[in-house]
Amino acid sequence: MKKKFQSIYQKINFKNDIVPTIIQDYKSNLVLMLGFMNKESYKKSILDKKVTFYSRSKNRLWTKGETSNNFLFIKDILIDCDGDTLLIKVKPNGPVCHKKTDTCWKEINKRNFLFLLEEIILNRIFCKNEKNDSYVKKLYKKGMNRIIQKFGEESIELIIESKDNNDNNFLNEAADLLFHYLILLRKKNFTIKNVIDILEKRHLINI
């Protein structure tokens, strides 16, 4: 990855010695802020793996989080078609804006709950707390056969509710099925992202 970032450096058109730099959350894809970089701040960012800007008002390098510890840890860097704008995907360590909001536009940086639910399931499965007696951990420990059986039961319940006209029951059974589907995926060492990738590839083939 570092070689890629160094290669990008060679392509940057530092017009007026600085380039606008868009900061994006690598998980939610939400735009967090806009800053500026010069050659030195880019090099320092790559070296430290944290975003460092060039402050036009202070006329110096400025590492985001240097006083608040709300660093922006670099996950990826992209350059636009003209080579004069950067897009940096980051993992933010706390609020990004100096006004304590998630973004400089006061948007809440929230991921799709489905991905968050996957993390919750994972944490409950591998929680080392002996007092942890969550439903997820108990089911997971019973093994693949029990997970498959439970998934099948939820599938049948959803089919039955599909034939009735109770929307609330149908949606609740759909939620139960999706929940157990995530557990089954985890047992097979896959994630919902693996499934989404396949669907996206199929979509691109059929365009």
Give residue-wise pLDDT tens across range 158-189.
999 999 999 999 999 999 999 999 999 999 99
- Give the chain's domain count: 2
Distance from C-alpha of 52 to C-alpha of 155, rounded to nearest angstrom: 50
12 Cβ contact partners less than 8 Å away, ≥ 6 residues apart? 19, 42, 79, 83, 84, 86
Average pLDDT score over residue span 61-79: 96
- Domain-embedded: residue 184: yes
Burial class of residue 3 (count of CB atoms within 10 Å of its CB; 0-12, 13-18, 19+):
exposed
- SS3 call for 65: coil
Distance from C-alpha of 192 to C-alpha of 198, rounded to nearest angstrom: 10
Same domain, 146 and 199: yes
Closest CA to 178 of 105, 108, 94, 115: 115
Radius of gyration of the chain measured on its C-alpha atoms:
23
Give residue 131's pLDDT: 64
Q: Contact 89/75 with Cβ under 8 angstroms?
A: yes
Same domain, 87 and 122: no
- Domain-embedded: residue 97: no
Q: What percent of the chain has pLDDT over 90?
A: 85
Give residue 202's pLDDT: 94
Same domain, 21 and 80: yes
- Domain-embedded: residue 101: no
Top-confidence residue, 15 or 4: 4
- Domain-embedded: residue 65: yes
Distance from C-alpha of 10 to C-alpha of 207, rounded to nearest angstrom: 35
Give residue 192's pLDDT: 94
The number of angstroms, rounded, from the C-alpha of 97 to the middle of its chain's C-alpha atoms is 19
Q: Last residue of a domain, which of 39, 63, 92?
A: 92
Domain of residue 169, residue span: 113-205
Same domain, 130 and 55: no
Span 92-140, pLDDT tens digits: 999 999 999 999 999 989 878 898 899 999 999 988 775 668 999 999 9
Strand-pairing partners, residue 76, are: 89
- Domain-embedded: residue 15: yes
**Which amino acid type is present at position 22?**
I
